[in-house]
Structure 1
């Protein structure tokens, strides 16, 4: 069996390593257009901020390791064409320009995503950078050494983590986003208001609800970012506006969402036989809405890549869908979320309610008993849990994983109220704060007057 793999980051590495172990007799060839594989891009801010000293730890595989598994890795090879009917592909050697053709029995497409880069006036000035891969991170580190004023455009996870890293390195930092709130895809205002206040407390300037219109600069380097509401000095600009799936190779050959994300079934197979896909190039089945959605996360990628290997020969292990569970640490605050925010649920047309509790996570007689702020979003009629958000000075983020399982299994608020959690004063209260959220949402009971 000839297996061809296009792309080798999270999903690709998971698919390749598992396929090599499951099918040692298979001929596996990997095409990767970069000069490295398996880079953990979610570690860029830690690397830029200096918390990660040795970048080798941000890679969890290498061409040498894959070779030991019998895998041929063709680095700096860009696939330019796929013929799914003829089961062939064409690739260009980026070193020599040589073109080559290959055939396959099974094709695994893990081409990932690429940053969205609008065509701004002045966008070709030097020191306007992206933040996606290992080479980007090295460039950011080198350029930031000479920069004093840094502007980050985009207030998602990557943008927020980068402004914190730059501020901790003594830079003057501005965060710009067209949305009125930071992290608006992940958290409701109850949380983002507090995080914004924390960023401002640390000296980070927020320019929210502002759209970048152009960049200005002298001697070919950026010096100023102009928005529809103001202008900001900048020696260095990092664009973190969002991502789009890299799927042009399969356009018109497989089913996709409107944004180009490949639709796969529960076994990671596309609408084209023997073509499988995973990771940031794909849509996922989103359990809170019960629809396909584009949610590029490393966790989704490694699960999907592993499932591809398991299902290459025949459907074996079914995908359970995702809740889009994620977490972030911003200064002293530990934050995590799963499923829909209250606002996103309303925009999705769900009839929902929510509870928001402020609770000490363990008994007050303990030496410390930090507060946790927990919101749980649920459907009014079915009482099904569809989302949750958590924030605390204590690291309680694993509780969001518990709520992810609740959403996965379509649990109700009543079940959350009375599910069995252990009690030990070092860790929690007799009523775990997850129980407390469920209890706060219990429906009213009939009054005594109604029974007379």
Structure 2
């Protein structure tokens, strides 16, 4: 059985390892256009900020390891065409220009995503950078040495983490976002209000609800300012973090895709072409809060999907359980966890929801110290089914986002969570865990509404 894998970051690496483990007879050929594999891009801000000293730790595999497992690894090879009828992959060796082709019985598309590059006037100026892969991370670090005024465009997780990294290193930081709140996809306003106030207290300039219309440069072709309808913001360096798009042009018109270009798969990660599997940032996820498909490019989704490709390569063995888009963030001492829909995003997924918000200490007041936890539960009207949750505290409560994620996946209700068995130990929590208390508040709210 000939297997061709196109792309080798999170999903590709997981797929290759599991294919070779479960199907040692397979002839696996890997095409990767970069000079490295398995880079953890979620660690870029830590690398840029100097928290991670040795970048080798941001890679969890390498071409040599994959080759030792039995794969034929073709690094710095750009796949230019896929003939799905003849089952052939055509590529170019980037270093030599030589043409390469490979036949396949099974094709695994793990081509990932790429930063969205808006067609903004002046975006070609020097020191306007992207933030996705290892080489870009090194360029950011190199350019930052001579930059004092840094503008981040995009207030999602990567943008916010870079804001922290540069602020901690003494840079003058401005964050610009076209939406009216930071972290808009993950948190409702009760949480973003807290974080925005903290950022501003630290001297970080927030230019929210503003869209960049132009970049202005000097005579040397270097960026000097960022223009929005509200004004100009000085910049020695700009980092674009406005989102990602799936890399799926090679299969356009050949397999089913969402309007975003994300490849649609069944519960075994097969595309509409039975010989082709897809996983990772190039692929739509099965979104459990509403039972539909969505585009949520996260490393967690990628490694799970990649693993399942290995299990299901020959026959349907292990179903994809879907995702809640669960994520965590550390920002200036705040520990933040989020899963499922927010009240803001729920209508976009066709859900009618209510929510409850509670602030409480994570453990008893008689302990020497404790910390407040601000938490929110989002549930479906009529059924009480939990579809989202958010938490923030100076204490590390982020694993509770995983608990809520499991509740969503298993279709638990607010009543289930209100009385579920959690341990009690004063070092860690109360006789009623704070998640119990949160769900009990939702039950109280429903009881009041039903009077």
- Give TM-score scaled by structure 2 length: 0.98
Q: Which residue of 1 aligns with 2:411?
A: 410
- The Cα of 1:346 is off from its aligned counterpart by 3.1
Aligned residue for 1:206? 206
- Residue-pair matches, total: 448
Q: Report the more deviating stretch, 301-310 or 61-70.
A: 61-70
- 2:250, 2:447 → 1: CA distance? 61
Structure 2 gaps of 5+ residues are none
State the alpha-carbon separation in 2 of the partners of residues 388 and 428 from structure 1. 19
- 1:34-183 pair list within 5 angstroms: 34-183=34-183
Shift of 1:229: 1.0
Partner of 1:206, secondary structure, is strand
Deviation at 1:348, TM superposition (A): 3.0
The match for 1:330 is: 331
Query: How far apart in 2 are the matches of 1:441 and 1:221?
Result: 54
Separation of aligned partners in 2, 1:144 and 1:124: 18
State how far apart, in whole Å, the 2-side matches of 1:59 and 1:445 are: 48
Any gaps of 5 or more consecutive residues in structure 1? none
| 1:306 matched residue in structure 2 | 307
Give the secondary-structure state (helix, strand or coil) at the position aligned to 1:328.
strand
Corresponding residue number in structure 2 for 1:374: 375
Secondary structure of 1:146 counterpart = coil
| CA distance, structure 2, for counterparts of residue 349 and residue 80 of structure 1 | 38
TM superposition shift of 1:444: 7.4
Give the corresponding residue for 1:227.
228
Residue 203 (structure 1) shift = 1.3
1:264 is matched with which residue?
265
- Cα distance change on mapping 1:404 and 1:445 into 2, 3 Å: closer
Structure 1 counterpart of 2:17: 17
Q: Any conservation in 1 of the 2:15–2:308 contact (CA below 8 Å)?
A: yes
Q: CA RMSD in A?
A: 1.2
For 1:10-57, what per-residue CA distance to the aligned partner results, in whole angstroms no more than 9, with x for missing partners?
000000011111111211110000011100000000000000000000
Greater shift in the superposed pair: 338-347 or 128-137:
338-347
Does the alignment pair 1:399 with 2:400?
yes
Farther off after superposition, 201-210 or 344-353? 344-353
Question: Is this contact kept in 1: 2:290–2:350, CA < 8 A?
Answer: no
Task: Give the secondary structure class of the aligned counterpart of 1:65.
Answer: helix
In the TM superposition, residue 306 of structure 1 has moved relative to its aligned partner by 0.1
Once the two structures are TM-superposed, the CA of residue 445 in structure 1 deviates from its matched residue by: 9.6
Q: The residue matched to 1:162 in structure 2 has which SS?
A: helix
Can you list the C-alpha shifts for 1:217-236, whole angstroms capped at 9, x where unaligned? Answer: 11110001001111100000
